[in-house]
C-alpha cells in the first residue's frame, strides 16, 4: 500500500494545527507545499525513505524529511502528538479520521458538540454532518465509512479470532506459484493475547501476481488499498488484513523486523550497533555496508552468535541474553499434550454430552480427559449437587470400560466462596479425581480480601489446580484486584498447579505470570475449558500462552501420561496430608 496519501494528510493536519496556533505563515505553507508534492508523487514515499531520498522531493527540506522518516518508521510523530496537546481543540481525537482536519474538528465541536469518533459516526449516520458548511453528502458518507473502520481497527482482536483468519489467507496464497514464502507477522506471529490489524508477509519475485490474488480472495468484502507491494483488505467479518510483499532475498530480515516486538528489535539493534553493524528490514550489514545476511532469520541470529529465538519469546524479557548463552528454553509443543484437564458437558453449562466430549478427545489423540462440571452454587451453569455428581461418576465408570485404554477422570470446577471456603464439603472433594477451584462471583472485593480468599482456598488439601487466576475477560472485564505474587507463593507452598485457561477471551494465567510461576517451581496446567467438542481446540491458545511464559514440557502437568498424572495427583494429595513442616517440594 502506497503511503503517500497518509503522509500528505499528516502534513496537512500539522499545517492546520499551526494555523490555529497562529504560527509563521511561511512555516505553514512549507507543510502544505510538501503535502501537495507528496500527493503528486508517482513513487511510493516509503521506498524513497528507504533509499534516503526524502529531501529530493520538492518542498521537503531536512526538517520535514526527518519528521516523515520518524513517522514511516514508527507509525507516530512526536512533534504531531505534542502539537495536538498544545492546540486548544476539544475534539482532537477526531483528527484520526481521514477527511477531518483541525478546522473541521473544531466546527464539529462548536456546532454539534462532537468530541469522540463514536459520536462522529452516530452524527454521520443521522445525516447531521451534511448540513454543516464545508461538508456535504459525499464527505458525510466518507466520514461515516472511515469512522466505522477506525473504530473496528482500534478494537484489539482476540488471538483466537484473528489467527484463523490469517491462516485462511496464508493457505489461499500458498497456492499461488509466485509465493515463495509466507507467514503471519507482528503480534499475531508472537501469539499475543490480542492484536491490532492482521499483518502477513510474503516473499516473491512477482509481487503483482500475489497482490492480484490477494485482493480477489473470496473472503474480501472491500479493498482498502492497492499498491505494488502493500495491499490491504477488509474481510466479510470486518477484519483488516494488510499484506506486504518483499523480495525473497530480504524475506528473513523483513520477517524478523515485522514480527517485533519493538522492544526486542531495539535490544537486537543495540547489540548489532555495538559491533559497528546495522540491522534493518533489508538485512544485516557490516561496517562497510556489505550485506551479511537477509534470507532467513536463522542466519541473522547465527551471525550474531545467538540461537534462533521463537517468536513467542521476542518481548525483551531476557531472551536475547539466553540466546547468546545458548540457554533458551525448549518450549512446550501442542503435540506433547497428553490430555485435557478442564472440560464441561451438558451436565452443567456445556453444549455436548459427556460421551461426545470423550469421543472428541479420543479423536484428538489424547490419553485422558478430565470432566470438570461446575459445583452447585453456580446455578446459572446448572452446577452439580453431590447426588448428581455421584450419578455422573457411574456414567464415567461405564464409559471408561467402553473406551479403554482411554481414561476419563472425574473432576469439578468448584466455586471459591467470598470467605475462601469451597462449594463442596471435604468428603465430596475427596471423591473427585481432580479438583479445580475458581472465583466466579464477588469480583469487586478489595485486593487484600480477594488474596486471602484465594489463598484460603488453596490451603484446602483436596485442591489440585487453581482455575483462571485473575478472572479477566479480554476486551470485556478487567482482572479482579489480587496480589498474584502472594497467590503464587501459596500455590508453590501447597503444591497446587496453576491453570493457563485456553478460552480465547481468558488466556489466564497471563504469560508474564506463567514465567513467574515456573520460576517458583509451580506446575502449569494447560487447559481448553471446553464447553463443546469444538472448544477442545482451545488447547492451542493455552499452549501458546504457556510458550510465551517460557514453559517447557516438563513444566506442564498434562504432558504427563495418564499413569504419571495419576501418580502426581496421588503424591500431591498424600503430601498435602502430611504435617506442614514435613513437606518437601518435588519436581518432575
DSSP letters for 240-252: EEEEEEE-GGGHH
> Which of 443 and 577 is assigned the larger pLDDT?
443
SS3 for 527?
Answer: strand
Tell me the C-alpha distance between 348 and 257, whole Å.
Answer: 47
Q: State how far the alpha carbon of 197 is from the alpha carbons of 200, 238, 298, in Å.
A: 10, 11, 26
What is the pLDDT, as a whole number, of residue 88?
A: 53
Q: What is the mean pLDDT of residues 546-575?
A: 96
Angstrom distance (rounded) from CA 274 to CA 261:
20
Which helix (H) or strand (E) element contains residue 198? strand 198-203
Report d(CA 29, CA 100) in Å as an integer. Answer: 19
Cβ atoms of 87 and 15 within 8 Å: the answer is no
Cα angle for residues 186, 151, 106 (degrees, 5° grid): 120
- Grid cell in block for residue 272: 548489532
Measured at the alpha carbon of residue 474, what is the angle toward residues 312 and 541, in degrees to the nearest 5? 40
CB–CB of 100/9 below 8 Å?
A: no
Give the largest CA-CA distance in the chain: 86
In CATH terms, the superfamily for domain 157-246 is Beta Polymerase, domain 2 (3.30.460.10)
Alpha helices (H) along 40-185:
45-50, 62-74, 78-86, 102-112, 117-125, 137-154, 159-174
Q: 334-578: what CATH class?
A: alpha beta
Question: What is the model's pLDDT at position 583?
Answer: 47
Contacting residues for 145 by C-beta, under 8 A, at least 6 apart: none
Q: Considering the chain, what percentage of its residues have pLDDT values greater than 70? A: 96
Nearest CA among 433, 454, 457, 430 for reference residue 341? 433
C-alpha cell at 206: 512477482
The pTM for the full model equals 0.76
State residue 89's pLDDT score.
Answer: 53
At residue 580, the pLDDT reads 55
Nearest to 551 by CA among 569, 524, 578, 572: 524
Check whether domain 261-324 has CATH 3.30.210.10, yes or no: yes
Q: What pLDDT sits at residue 354? A: 97
pLDDT at 125 over 90: no
123/559 Cα distance (integer angstroms): 55
Confidence check: pLDDT of 201 > 70 = yes
- pLDDT tens by residue, 205-264: 999 999 999 999 999 988 988 888 999 999 987 789 999 999 999 999 999 999 999 999
| 1 vs 314, higher pLDDT | 314
Q: Specify whether the CB–CB gap between 188 and 158 falls below 8 A.
A: no
H/E stretch holding 208: helix 207-214
C-alpha cell at 545: 500462552
Virtual torsion, Cα 436, 441, 444, 445, nearest 10 deg? -60
Domain spanning 4-154: which CATH class is it, in words? mainly alpha
Distances from the Cα of 410 to the Cα of 433, 457, 577, angstroms: 5, 20, 21
Residue extents of the structural domains in the chain: 4-154, 157-246, 261-324, 334-578
pLDDT at 588: 34
Lowest mean pLDDT among 12-16, 404-408, 502-506: 12-16
Of 110-124, 296-310, 316-330, where does mean pLDDT reach its minimum?
A: 110-124
Contacts of 458 (CB under 8 A, 6+ apart): 437, 466, 487, 490, 491, 494, 496
What is the DSSP code (8-state) at residue 95? G
Question: Which range has the worst mean pLDDT, 122-136, 160-174, 333-347?
Answer: 122-136
Higher pLDDT, 83 or 265: 265
Strand partners, 278: 285
C-alpha cell at 337: 499434550
pLDDT at position 411, please?
98
With 70 as the cut, is the pLDDT of residue 91 above it? Answer: no
SS3 content of the chain, % helix, strand, coil (to 5): 50, 15, 35
For residue 152, pLDDT beyond 70: no
> Measured between alpha carbons, how far is residue 317 from residues 194, 263, 324, 353, 549 in Å?
19, 9, 14, 43, 10
**Residues whose CB falls within 8 Å of the CB of residue 556, separated by 6 or more in sequence, listed in order:** 332, 336, 337, 523, 524, 525, 526, 546
Non-local CB neighbours of 195 within 8 Å, separated by 6+ positions: 156, 157, 159, 162, 186, 187, 188
Amino acid at each position: 500500500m502506497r503511503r503517500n496519501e497518509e503522509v500528505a494528510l499528516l502534513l496537512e493536519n500539522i499545517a492546520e494545527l499551526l494555523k490555529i496556533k497562529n504560527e509563521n505563515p511561511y512555516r505553514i505553507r512549507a507543510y502544505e507545499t510538501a503535502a501537495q508534492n507528496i500527493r503528486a508523487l508517482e513513487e511510493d514515499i516509503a521506498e524513497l525513505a528507504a533509499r534516503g531520498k526524502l529531501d529530493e522531493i520538492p518542498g521537503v527540506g531536512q526538517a520535514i524529511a526527518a519528521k516523515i522518516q520518524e513517522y514511516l518508521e514508527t507509525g507516530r510523530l512526536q512533534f504531531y502528538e505534542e502539537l495536538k496537546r498544545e492546540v486548544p481543540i476539544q475534539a482532537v481525537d477526531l483528527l484520526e479520521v481521514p477527511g477531518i482536519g483541525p478546522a473541521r474538528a473544531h466546527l464539529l465541536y462548536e456546532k454539534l458538540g462532537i468530541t469522540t469518533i463514536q459520536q462522529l459516526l452516530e452524527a454521520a449516520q443521522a445525516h447531521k454532518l451534511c448540513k454543516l458548511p464545508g461538508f456535504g453528502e459525499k464527505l458525510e458518507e466518507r466520514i461515516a465509512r472511515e469512522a466505522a473502520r477506525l473504530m473496528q481497527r482500534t478494537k484489539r482482536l482476540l488471538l483466537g479470532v484473528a489467527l484463523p483468519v490469517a491462516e485462511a489467507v496464508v493457505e489461499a496464497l500458498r497456492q499461488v506459484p509466485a509465493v515463495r514464502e509466507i507467514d503471519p507477522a507482528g503480534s499475531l506471529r508472537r501469539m499475543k493475547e490480542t492484536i491490532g490489524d492482521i499483518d502477513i508477509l510474503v516473499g516473491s519475485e512477482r509481487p503483482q501476481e500475489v497482490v492480484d490474488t490477494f485482493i480477489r480472495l473470496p473472503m474480501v468484502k472491500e479493498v482498502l488499498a492497492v499498491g505494488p507491494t502493500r495491499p490491504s483488505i477488509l474481510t466479510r467479518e470486518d477484519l483488516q488484513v494488510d499484506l506486504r510483499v518483499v523480495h525473497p532475498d530480504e524475506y528473513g530480515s523483513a520477517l524478523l523486523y515485522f514480527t517485533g516486538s519493538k522492544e526486542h528489535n531495539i535490544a537486537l539493534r543495540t547489540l548489532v550497533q555495538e559491533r559497528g553493524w546495522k540491522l534493518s528490514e533489508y538485512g544485516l550489514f557490516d561496517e562497510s555496508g556489505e550485506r551479511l545476511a537477509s534470507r532467513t532469520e536463522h542466519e541473522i541470529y547465527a551471525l550474531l552468535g545467538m540461537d534462533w529465538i521463537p517468536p513467542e519469546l521476542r518481548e525483551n524479557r531476557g531472551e536475547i541474553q539466553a540466546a547468546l548463552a545458548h540457554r533458551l528454553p525448549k518450549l512446550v509443543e501442542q503435540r506433547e499434550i497428553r490430555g485435557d484437564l478442564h472440560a464441561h458437558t451438558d451436565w452443567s453449562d456445556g453444549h455436548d454430552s459427556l460421551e461426545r466430549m470423550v469421543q472428541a478427545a479420543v479423536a484428538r489423540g489424547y490419553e485422558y480427559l478430565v470432566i470438570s462440571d461446575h459445583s452447585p452454587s453456580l446455578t446459572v451453569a446448572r452446577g452439580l449437587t453431590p447426588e448428581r455428581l455421584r450419578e455422573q461418576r457411574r456414567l464415567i465408570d461405564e464409559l471408561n470400560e467402553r473406551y479403554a485404554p482411554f481414561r476419563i477422570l472425574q473432576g469439578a470446577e468448584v466455586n471459591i466462596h467470598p470467605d475462601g471456603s469451597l462449594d463442596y464439603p471435604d468428603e465430596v472433594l475427596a471423591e473427585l479425581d481432580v479438583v479445580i477451584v475458581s472465583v466466579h462471583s464477588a469480583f469487586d472485593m478489595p485486593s487484600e480480601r480477594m488474596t486471602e480468599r484465594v489463598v484460603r482456598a488453596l490451603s484446602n488439601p483436596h485442591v489440585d489446580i487453581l482455575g483462571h487466576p485473575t478472572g479477566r475477560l479480554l476486551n470485556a472485564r478487567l482482572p479482579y484486584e489480587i496480589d498474584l505474587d502472594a497467590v503464587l507463593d501459596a500455590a508453590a507452598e501447597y503444591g497446587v498447579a496453576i491453570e493457563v485457561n485456553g478460552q480465547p477471551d481468558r488466556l489466564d494465567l497471563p504469560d508474564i505470570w506463567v514465567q513467574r510461576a515456573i520460576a517458583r517451581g509451580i506446575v502449569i496446567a494447560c487447559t481448553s475449558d471446553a464447553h463443546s467438542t469444538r472448544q477442545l481446540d482451545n488447547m492451542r491458545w493455552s499452549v501458546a500462552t504457556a510458550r510465551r511464559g517460557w514453559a517447557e514440557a516438563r513444566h506442564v502437568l498434562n504432558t504427563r501420561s495418564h499413569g504419571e498424572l495419576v501418580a502426581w495427583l496421588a503424591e500431591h494429595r498424600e503430601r498435602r496430608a502430611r504435617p506442614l513442616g514435613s513437606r518437601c517440594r518435588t519436581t518432575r
